[in-house]
A and B are shown apart, each in its own frame.
Chain A
Amino acid sequence: MTFPRRSIAIGALVLAAVPALANPFERVRPVTHEPTRKECGECHMPFQPGLLPAGSWTRIMDTLNDHFGESAALTPDVAADIRAYLTGNAAGRGDGGLLRITEQPWWTRKHHFRPDVWTRPSVVSKANCEACHRGAAQGLYEDD
């Protein structure tokens, strides 16, 4: 008589596990804040706030003078506005000690490709999400 009870218990476990397994980054809210779209979308696509935890955004906004070797400096009022938007809509998970999306463990797990993929003329950089994800600007990263 223990058998059906066990299978019910397992079924409940599986159901509970499904939401945890779905990748929360495969669909993130698009950038809705115009200053972020403009100022953070010049050199690369404007990354959605939901791709990084607040700690990472805070460190990025603290170091715009030396932003991955470039200056992305902004006037203080614009920077404060963008900082509030990014941290206020940040991901609930991820490693806030890492600045890059492309260093986050969830990202590297999904992007185990041959090294020469990253140097293709159409790709150039891991951060060029749009080269591979056509829906990247809309926050859509499901397999396509």
Chain B
Amino acid sequence: MIPHALRRILLSTALFAVGAGVAYAAGESAARSAILDGYAAQAKAEAPIFAGFSADRGRALYLGPHAGGKADTNACAACHTPNPAAAGRHAKTGRTIEPMAVSANPKRFTDRAEVEKRFDRDCPNVLGRACTAAEKGDFITYLSGQ
């Protein structure tokens, strides 16, 4: 039997924790939307026919396989694992990589500089060239729905 006063405290702490969690998640999704908006503007500038991002194209980019990059990393999935909700493993160093799917890892795609830095490194490895803004947006759109 939990005393009444204590129960009130416990309940309000729980509510506060839930509220804080929601606010935090909202901040993350706002940050992600802002990054996507930036890529959409860039994609329109690169190609005026740009008509929005596609999760299907993002999935194809993620799963590969692609020619042009390095043989041992011919897909994003080579390190990020074919199941984006699962933890990945760096193909060369063996280090664990946290899941890419936003549902499994809500921190994903919320730090613009970090996201740009990794596209700059990972796209040449896999594709042998930089990713376009449209590809970046497709990729994030696919993983946001996973």
Task: State which of B93, B121, B125 has its C-beta within 8 Å of the C-beta of A127.
Answer: B93
Q: Please, which residues of chain B bring their CB within 8 A of the CB of A128? A: 93-95
Question: Assuming A70-B125, A71-B121, A71-B124, is B93 touching A123 (CB within 8 A)?
Answer: no
Bound-state Cα–Cα, A27 to B121, Å: 33
Q: How far is the CB of A101 from chain B (nearest CB, A)?
A: 13
The 8 A CB mask of B90-117 against A (1 = contact, 0 = none) is 1111110000000000000000000000
Is the CB of A45 closer than 8 A to any CB of chain B?
yes
Is the CB of A13 closer than 8 A to any CB of chain B?
no
Q: Is the CB of A123 within 8 A of B94?
A: yes
Give the number of residue pairs across the A-B interface with Cβ within 8 Å.
36
Q: How far is the CB of A70 from chain B (nearest CB, A)?
A: 7
Q: How far is the CB of A90 from chain B (nearest CB, A)?
A: 22
Q: Is the CB of A43 within 8 A of B124?
A: no
Q: How far is the CB of A45 from chain B (nearest CB, A)?
A: 7
Is the CB of A131 closer than 8 A to any CB of chain B?
yes
Q: Is the CB of B94 within 8 A of A124?
A: yes
Chain B, interface size category, equals 10 to 19
B residues 68-99 in Cβ contact with A at 8 Å: 70, 89-95
Is the CB of A125 closer than 8 A to any CB of chain B?
yes
Q: Is the CB of B90 within 8 A of A44?
A: yes
Q: Is the CB of B93 within 8 A of A43?
A: yes
Bound-state Cα–Cα, A69 to B73, Å: 12
A128's nearest neighbour on chain B, judged by CB, is: B94
Task: State which of B70, B92, B121 has its C-beta within 8 Å of the C-beta of A125.
Answer: B92
Q: Please, which residues of chain A bring their CB within 8 A of the CB of B91? A: 124
Q: Please, which residues of chain B bring their CB within 8 A of the CB of A43? A: 90, 92-93, 95
A residues near B (Cβ < 8 Å) are 43-45, 68-72, 122-125, 127-128, 130-131
For the complex of A and B, the 7 pairs showing the least CB-CB separation, nearest first, are A124-B94, A128-B94, A44-B93, A125-B94, A44-B95, A125-B93, A71-B121
16 A-B residue pairs with CB within 8 Å:
A43-B95, A44-B90, A44-B93, A69-B70, A69-B92, A70-B121, A70-B125, A71-B121, A122-B94, A123-B94, A124-B89, A124-B92, A124-B94, A125-B93, A125-B94, A128-B93
Q: A69-B92, A127-B94, A130-B95 are in contact. List 9 more A-B contacts (CB 8 A).
A: A45-B95, A70-B92, A70-B121, A70-B125, A124-B89, A124-B90, A124-B93, A124-B94, A125-B92
